[in-house]
Chains A and B, each alone.
Chain A
Amino acid sequence: MTPLSIAFLPLTDSAPLVVARAKGFAEAQGIDLSLVRTTSWATLRDRLVYGQVQAAHMLAPLAIAVNLGLSQHPAAISAPFKLNVNGNALVMANAFAEALDPDPAKRVHDPEAVAHDFANAIGLYRRKPVIGVVHRFSSHALMLRYWLGFAGVDPDRDVNLRVLPPSFMGEALRLGEIDGFIAGEPWNTAAVAEGLGEIVAAGVDIWRRGVEKVLAMRTDWMEANAETVDRLLVAVSQAAAWCDDPANREELAILLERPEHVGQPAEWIMAALRGKLMLRRGDAPVDIPDFLLFHREAAGFPWRSQALWIYSQLVRWGMVKADPATERQAADVFRPDIYRRALGGAGLPMPGASMKLEGALAAPLAVGAHQGALTLGPDRFFDGAVFDPDDLQGYLAALAR
């Protein structure tokens, strides 16, 4: 047995790691997996960078930021696997949500209209809205910025973005320290269940196949332990498939409920797993298809084009200076080559390419795969923009900022 430690944050999308351990997928691959529960991304990052753990459940943009030296000291870390796709939602305090469409179900399914309503509501609100984000370098923050930017809101000028751990958002909302927040589940459902706010937008409706958490590891460790990495990826990929199976949802929710995992009621965790969320306390749950994906459509495949989309957003918001070498470095964080090496023998459909247009699919599309049949789901951005990784400058020029 190879002992491995992986750090994670208490979030529903830590599921593939929890399941890899609890359902014996890691053990079957000869891995004695221990999970290290962590409360902040900074601590998770440090545990990984300074070698206390071999891998981590990490925000994809944070993995890139660490490589670029944007989040404390630069370190070479790699993401050979994505743990999930999407899973976030934007919750706003009831008082703010009142200025939007009165029907919460209409809101989530019309992100364009709500973005404009939101921009108007900012002007009417009693102060510059304070919105909690889980990290500067989070998919959540980038998605919120993208969505607000569409409606002409400058996220650095017109709203106040405040960084708070996901588990603190509800309390901050209750105390009036923030007017809303964007975070992963189950924290949105928790805030709604406690009547603190309403879900006004879902990540999946902003970008239908948004990149979210990755399995990150130090690049030197990954290279020195190729055989272990391959076994780990097989175990986590099998666990992700288990998580995606509707037959296992209830068992998964009960597993995640345990205090050493997410530590929140299974009922709340079920919401994201089923894609059926209560948007306002007392309302009937609303279907939000594909709210959170673990395995279908080769969800684990780390498309280099997605790393580049993250880079494009970091450039857009002035967090990093555009530069061909930096661009290359950002793309290199995602390692489809390792994914292929580890999972090529597992019978999974394997994308033939490592880059694609992001946001070009309005309907499911069968794509070239090395084995099996691979159908990619619709991956549009809500504004219809298409990200061509070969024309990053053109893409940025077309965006408002």
Chain B
Amino acid sequence: MRIVIVDDSGLRATVLEEGLRDAGYDDIHVVPPQGAFVAKIERMAPDVVLMDLGSPSRDTLEEMLAVSRALARPIAMFVDQSDDAMIGAAIDAGVSAYVVDGLRKDRVKPILDLAIRRFNAFARMQTELDEARTALADRKVIDRAKAILMQTRGLSEPEAYTLLRSTAMSQSKRIADVADALITAHSLLGGL
């Protein structure tokens, strides 16, 4: 079974591809949705195409599915229209799957199940990564603000942090936001 993954996110494609390989599928191709990607897919003659539901290139791909002479058999989205729960899960996870008509449902279902799980796992990873990045950025901002307070007000590091925290609490803001405002004000006033 030849599976094409249309994706420009290196990480997501890798997460999905690894899962499929672990499950015993070995004819897998990743195609980024750029330039003449549709012609490339046509030449590959896939049985299943997996794609991010939110990808703007879905219209381009569907147009190919509508007019392609290279693909002898029609390709439809999802495999089984009667399975609303699965389609719902796929859409929630952000997966769209185009499947060659005539492929048996029991052969495609595990692929779609796996894609849904992997897309969900990827979304979780992405959220965690974003949170980690924010946390890191916040810490840098707070460190700079502390340094400014220590320098200009002659405070110790714990005192500077306590001041930032109590200001944040009294204004019901995040410490990082208070620190950010302080840095801006400091640079406006000619500090470094």
Chain A residues close to B by CB (< 8 Å): 38-43, 46-47, 50-52, 71-73, 134-136, 162-165, 167-168, 175, 177
Q: Which of B95-123 contact A (CB under 8 A)?
A: 96
Residue B22 lies at the interface, judged by CB distance under 8 Å to chain A: no
**B56 close to A46 (CB less than 8 A):** no
Q: Residue on A with the closest CB to B55?
A: A40
Residues of B within 8 Å of A135, CB to CB, are 59, 63
Taking the closest CB of chain A, its distance from the CB of B36, in whole angstroms, is 8
| Cα A162 to Cα B37 with chains together (Å) | 13
Q: Residue on B with the closest CB to A75?
A: B81
A39-B56, A40-B58, A52-B91 known; A46 and B77 CB under 8 Å?
Answer: yes
Residues of A within 8 Å of B158, CB to CB, are none
Additional A-B contacts beyond A42-B59, A43-B53, A134-B59 (13; CB < 8 A): A42-B58, A42-B61, A42-B96, A46-B77, A46-B96, A50-B87, A50-B88, A136-B63, A162-B60, A163-B60, A163-B62, A165-B57, A165-B59
Q: Residue on A with the closest CB to B87?
A: A50
A52-B91, A73-B76, A165-B56 known; A42 and B62 CB under 8 Å?
Answer: yes
Q: Residue on A with the closest CB to B81?
A: A73
**A168 close to B91 (CB less than 8 A):** no
Chain B residues close to A by CB (< 8 Å): 35, 53-63, 66, 76-78, 81, 84, 87-88, 91-92, 96
A50-B91, A72-B76 known; A43 and B63 CB under 8 Å?
Answer: no
Q: Which of B54, B63, B78 sits near A39, CB closer than 8 Å?
A: B54
A50-B87, A50-B91, A73-B76 known; A164 and B53 CB under 8 Å?
Answer: no
Q: Residue on B with the closest CB to A137?
A: B66
**B77 close to A164 (CB less than 8 A):** no
Residues of B within 8 Å of A41, CB to CB, are 59
**A136 close to B66 (CB less than 8 A):** yes
A50-B88, A72-B77, A73-B81 known; A43 and B58 CB under 8 Å?
Answer: yes
| Cα A73 to Cα B55 with chains together (Å) | 19
Taking the closest CB of chain B, its distance from the CB of A94, in whole angstroms, is 22
Residues of A within 8 Å of B84, CB to CB, are 50
A52-B91, A72-B77 known; A168 and B96 CB under 8 Å?
Answer: no
| Cα A71 to Cα B58 with chains together (Å) | 12
Q: List 21 A-B contacts (CB under 8 A).
A: A38-B54, A39-B55, A39-B56, A40-B54, A40-B55, A40-B56, A42-B59, A42-B62, A43-B53, A43-B55, A50-B91, A72-B76, A72-B77, A134-B59, A136-B62, A162-B63, A163-B63, A164-B59, A167-B56, A168-B56, A177-B35
**B59 close to A40 (CB less than 8 A):** yes
**A43 close to B62 (CB less than 8 A):** no
Residues of B within 8 Å of A73, CB to CB, are 76-78, 81
Residues of B within 8 Å of A136, CB to CB, are 62-63, 66
| Cα A134 to Cα B58 with chains together (Å) | 11
| Cα A39 to Cα B32 with chains together (Å) | 17
